[in-house]
């Protein structure tokens, strides 16, 4: 009798343990595992120290969590570089500016030929282009003052440099003018650029933020900065030229000691995919992004507050959407 009781007790314990394990599994996996047509997903990101890099980090983690067996990785890049990488198939998804996307599909700007292999997935948030120097540089107060200076322009192949030179056109300033005046141009990731500014190895930093540039916030603790304003008449003119460039004001308080709003030019960040990706796959990539915004809101609140379906087509022609993304937006009531 004792042996039978112990045997029954032991079996009951095993059953309870297995049941508990089963319950644990259901609570830790509360979403359906999706299927990906390929084992790997390469995502074109921005440079280290940029606002794009953490976005694609979260995106990679979300996709690996939701797609069965998918290995997602991100590659440092820039707006135009990512679009060109999409075209040759080095990446399948990338982050870039709407202005560069327009240039790519039309064969203008940095693109000698039209790129027919890409499609839009989503517009994300406005990017405030920041032209900054150290606060104690009394010789740099206006755009005209930077012509003979050493200027850092972010990653080579990035959309920021394209937008910068288009903005400079309104002042009659070209890259050749900078070189002729004794100035110099450098490229690299934002973290390195901010360090170079702090160390005096470059005079001017150009980069995009939403509205703050993270790497500039990191150096301003010991090296206060100032943002160079853009003249409003120049901003009004460039906004009418069809570049996908608009304008706004970097709010007062974005950086220490910044007591007034500073007018500047803006671009819009977007996600782009290869056009030949499976429709259901892109539908699910789009769905996972929009239905897991809490991850971005938790880690990147200042940027994620702009992620909304109300502005998902800002700067994007709906005709350029990938069919999978278009299907999701139709279901969400964004498009007809």
Is this structure's pTM higher than 0.95?
no
Superfamily of domain 127-267: Periplasmic binding protein-like II (3.40.190.10)
Question: Would 40-125+269-331 and 127-267 be classified into the same CATH topology?
Answer: yes
Q: Who has greater pLDDT, 210 or 331?
A: 331
How confident is the model over 132-175, as pLDDT tens digits?
999 999 999 999 999 999 999 998 877 888 899 999 999 999 99
* For residues 75-94, average pLDDT: 95
* For residues 220-231, average pLDDT: 96
The whole-number pLDDT of residue 31 equals: 64
What tokens were used for 54?
A: 């953490």
* For residues 195-216, average pLDDT: 94
Does residue 241 sit in helix, strand or coil? coil
Domain boundaries, the chain: 40-125+269-331, 127-267
| CATH number of the 40-125+269-331 domain | 3.40.190.10
What tokens were used for 251?
A: 């709010």
How confident is the model over 242-253, as pLDDT tens digits?
788 889 999 999
User: Which string of b and e fits 197-229 if b means at least 16 CB within 10 Å?
Assistant: bbeeebbbbbbbbbbbbbbbebbbeebebbbbb
The whole-number pLDDT of residue 169 equals: 96
What tokens were used for 336?
A: 């007809």
The tokens 């900078």 sit on which residue?
A: 178
């Amino acid at each position: 009798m004792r042996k039978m009781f112990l045997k029954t007790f032991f079996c009951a314990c095993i059953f309870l343990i297995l049941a508990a394990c089963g319950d644990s599994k259901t609570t830790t996996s509360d979403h359906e595992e999706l299927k990906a047509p390929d084992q790997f997903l390469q995502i074109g990101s921005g440079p280290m120290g940029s606002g794009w890099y953490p976005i694609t980090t979260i995106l990679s983690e979300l996709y690996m969590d939701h797609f069965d067996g998918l290995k997602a990785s991100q590659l440092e890049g820039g707006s135009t570089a990512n679009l060109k990488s999409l075209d040759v198939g080095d990446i399948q998804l990338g982050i870039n500016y709407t202005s560069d996307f327009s240039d790519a599909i039309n064969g203008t700007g940095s693109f000698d030929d039209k790129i027919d292999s890409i499609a839009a997935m989503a517009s994300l948030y406005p990017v405030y282009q920041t032209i900054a120097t150290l606060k104690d540089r009394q010789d740099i107060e206006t755009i005209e003052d930077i012509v003979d200076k050493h200027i850092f322009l972010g990653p080579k192949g990035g959309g920021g440099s394209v937008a910068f030179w288009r903005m400079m056109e309104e002042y009659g300033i070209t890259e050749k003018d900078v070189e002729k005046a004794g100035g110099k141009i450098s490229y690299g990731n934002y973290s390195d650029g901010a360090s170079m500014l702090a160390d005096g190895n470059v005079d001017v930093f150009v980069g995009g933020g939403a509205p703050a540039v993270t790497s500039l916030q990191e150096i301003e603790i010991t090296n206060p900065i100032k943002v160079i304003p853009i003249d409003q008449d120049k901003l009004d003119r460039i906004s009418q030229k069809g570049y996908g460039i608009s304008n706004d004001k970097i709010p007062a308080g974005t950086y220490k000691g910044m007591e007034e709003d500073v007018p500047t030019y803006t671009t819009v960040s977007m996600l782009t995919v290869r056009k030949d990706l499976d429709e259901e796959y892109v539908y699910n990539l789009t769905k996972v992004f929009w239905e897991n915004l809490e991850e971005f809101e938790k880690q990147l609140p200042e940027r994620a507050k702009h992620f909304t379906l109300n502005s998902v087509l800002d700067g994007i022609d709906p005709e350029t959407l990938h069919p999978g993304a278009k299907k999701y937006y139709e279901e969400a009531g964004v498009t007809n």
